[in-house]
Amino acid sequence: MSRWVQSLIRISDYEVQTLQKRLAEIVGRRVDAEMRIVMLEAESEAEARHAEADVEAGFMQLGFAHAVRMRKAEIQITIDALLVEETGARDALSVAFEDLKRYEHVAEAQKVKAAKLEQQRETAALDELGLRRPRQGPG
């Protein structure tokens, strides 16, 4: 296998690994944001139960609910942006995998071609030996 193919494979493999790390980081941020929404909803439910039991807390519940809705909206905007970024990262990773497989295919084809050429050389050498060997006749 030629050096340039080996270099392309190494570079492409590095790119795939880098894109995998980037995708994992994006997914992690998205999951964190989704978890923040879940926590806000749980906090909101707990506050609503508390407001039912306490009249003063009931007056503050309206403001609290409004603040929760605003925070959820901000987090949802972040999640939507992360989903777009995640889609782009997945597409880039897919292209990088395709490139890596293409380079690996070229390398494999070169190996097969080299093995075939070596076999042809060996056959030619054996044919040459056969032609040079003095023919022995019967008997």
Q: In the chain, what are the domain boundaries?
A: 3-104
The answer to whether the Cα torsion of 31, 36, 39, 44 is positive or negative is negative
DSSP 88-104: HHHHHHHHHHHHHHHHH
CA distance 60 to 96: 53
As a whole-number percent, the residues of the chain with pLDDT over 90 amount to 58
How many CB atoms within 10 Å of residue 32?
A: 13
Q: How many CA atoms lie within 13 A of 57 on its CB side?
A: 10
How many other β-carbons are positioned within 10 Å of the β-carbon of residue 90? 14
16 vs 56, which has greater pLDDT? Answer: 16
C-alpha atoms less than 13 angstroms from C-alpha of 116 in its C-beta half-sphere: 6
Q: Residue 2: pLDDT above 80?
A: no
Tell me which amino acid residue 18 is.
T
For 83-134, write each residue's pLDDT tens digit. 999 999 999 999 999 999 998 998 899 889 989 999 999 998 888 887 777 7
Q: For 37, list phi and psi in degrees, rounded to 5.
A: -65, -45
Residue 61's pLDDT band, with cuts at 50, 70 and 90, is confident
